[in-house]
Amino acid sequence: STGVVKLQPKAEELKFVTKNDGYVHIHPSSVNYQTRHFESPYLVYHEKIKTSRVFIRDCSMVSVYPLVLLGGGQVHMQLQKGEFVISLDDGWIRFVAASHQVAELVKELRCELDQLLQDKIKNPSMDLCICPRGSRIISMIVKLVTTQ
């Protein structure tokens, strides 16, 4: 029997969406230009330029948990159609959590990390690896991100 094998898109066909610019493409000079598949649909980038179309350069794929924990803006959680949705940036970025408990734990971990960083800014000499609270938060984040 024969079948059809889905091909990965060509580099010039691959596009992403930003909140302000709509569709953007990876610039041909970017290291990731030839990458045809990303494990996560989210990229972070350093530079955005507009020539014949809008391009991003200096981009890296980012997984869901690092984006939720380290991304800007407030984290919100709500129940939508029986699923617990975690949202960032006023709903622009949204994830479905496996359960209410997972959503609450991720949201709480983000709050704890934000508070820990505020404490570090107030007290720059504080060693987060020695501080019991800081080391627990950091080790939990490392565990979550590496076992994702």
> Would you state the pLDDT for residue 3?
63
d(CA 90, CA 76) in angstroms, rounded, equals: 8
Q: Would the CA dihedral through 35, 38, 44, 48 be positive or negative?
A: positive
- Please tell me the predicted confidence (pLDDT) of residue 142: 92
DSSP string covering 2-48: ----PPPPPGGG-EEEETTTEEEEE-TTSGGGG----SSSEEEEEEE
pLDDT value at position 37? 84
State residue 11's pLDDT score.
67
> What b-and-e string marks burial along 96-113, b requiring 16 or more CB atoms within 10 Å of the CB?
ebeeeeebeebbebbebb
Residue 56 buriedness (CB in 10 A; 0-12 / 13-18 / 19+): buried
CA 75 distance to own-chain centroid:
12
Q: Decide: 59 and 46 in contact? Cβ < 8 Å.
A: yes
Give the pTM. Answer: 0.75
Beta bridge partners of 59: 45
Alpha carbons 52 and 104: distance in angstroms, whole number: 44
Q: What is the mean pLDDT of each run of 10 residues along the chain (148 residues)?
A: 65 82 90 86 91 92 90 85 87 87 90 94 93 93 86
